[in-house]
A = this chain, B = another copy of it.
Amino acid sequence: MSLLIVGSIALDSVKTPFGEVREALGGSAVYASMASKHFSQTEIIGVIGKDFPEEHLKLLEDNKISIIGVEKVDGKTFRWKGVYNDLNKAETLDTQLNVFADFQPKLSEKHQNTEYVFLGNIDPVLQLDVLNKIKNPRITACDTMNFWISGKLEKLIEVIKEVDILFINEDELKMLTGENNIFKAAEITEKYNLKLIVIKKGEHGAIAVKNDFVFFAPVFPLKRVVDPTGAGDSFAGGFMGYLAKSDNFNEKTIKNAMIYGTILASFDVEDFSLNKLSKVSSEEIEFRKEKIRQSVIF
């Protein structure tokens, strides 16, 4: 099955203790698609300005990611500037929405017929709009962030009620639920009729929860994390890509999707922008999978 990803396409300027990049390729749709393409035909929906470098589009195309849904409009591309003094926390220095401010996802007939959909962290109003256009959804998922939890909670909850899977950071889950115990907080799966909640814990791994089902994915142990930008999106992309490929939602598939998400995120953080993530081979992915297996089985 193919996967439809709706999200941001950005030019990121990022500084970490290991160096910096300026106006490098980024954005939730880009990171997620570069991870999911290992498993499924991936289509992205997003918007760029007239200044968007052709080489970036070429990189996506070279990776067999469909960019038919990428709209180029008058104006400048979305820009984000951030610094990580502590690699676990980004500090935003500047956000220029530019053409992203008026982003209205346009779905072709083919897009509307996609059965697997990942909605990157964008305005819940837009997420809901996309969801309403999907004709026969099999599995839909969304990501979100504190900005929408505090700013557009009502709309966000509409989205959460509509999707099957919620990807959310641990801190944001606590914020959304007002509950500090994440296993208690995960009870929102019942409240909002979610099929699954995936709690992203950064350097502490990720947890998938639904009723009595709990699955812990550790991190892949890296002695050098260069740039965490896009880790959550690579995770979600790897997860959703594998789900679309498997075309089922049993526990075995969910567990493997969690591990593939973990692996793709681990490649992402090893270099700036898409520098490493775009060069990963299936062999490298499977190698890390076996390493992870050895680090958790007993």
* Chain B residues within 8 Å of A182, by CB: 203
A183 touches B258 (CB 8 A): no
A52 to B275, alpha carbons, bound, how many Å?
A: 63
- Which A residues between 274 and 298 are near B, CB-CB below 8 angstroms? 293, 295-298
A187 to B86, alpha carbons, bound, how many Å?
A: 20
Q: Which segment of A61-69, A71-79, A111-119, A215-223 sits at the interface? A: A215-223
* A255 proximal to B (CB < 8 A): yes
Nearest Cβ in chain B — how far from A258, in angstroms?
A: 7
Known contacts A205-B216, A216-B205, A216-B218, A183 near B223 by CB under 8 Å:
yes
A206 to B295, alpha carbons, bound, how many Å?
A: 12
* A265 proximal to B (CB < 8 A): no
* A166 proximal to B (CB < 8 A): no
Copies of this protein, total: 2
Measured as residues with beta carbon below 8 angstroms from the partner, the interface class of chain A is 20 to 34
Interface 1/0 per residue, A152-180 and B, CB below 8 Å: 00000000000000000000000000001
Known contacts A184-B224, A204-B201, A256 near B216 by CB under 8 Å:
no
Q: Which of B184, B225, B259, B295 contacts A223 (CB 8 A)?
A: B184
* A108 proximal to B (CB < 8 A): no
* A214 proximal to B (CB < 8 A): yes
Which secondary structure dominates chain A's binding surface?
A: mixed
* A181 proximal to B (CB < 8 A): yes
A224 to B201, alpha carbons, bound, how many Å?
A: 19
A214 touches B295 (CB 8 A): yes
* Chain B residues within 8 Å of A126, by CB: none
Interface residues of A (CB under 8 A from B): 86-87, 180-184, 187, 201, 203-205, 207, 209, 214-216, 218, 221-225, 252, 255-256, 258-259, 293, 295-298
24 contacts between A and B (CB under 8 A): A181-B223, A181-B224, A181-B225, A183-B221, A183-B223, A187-B223, A201-B204, A204-B204, A204-B205, A205-B216, A207-B218, A209-B221, A216-B216, A216-B218, A216-B296, A218-B218, A252-B298, A255-B297, A255-B298, A256-B298, A258-B298, A259-B298, A293-B298, A297-B297
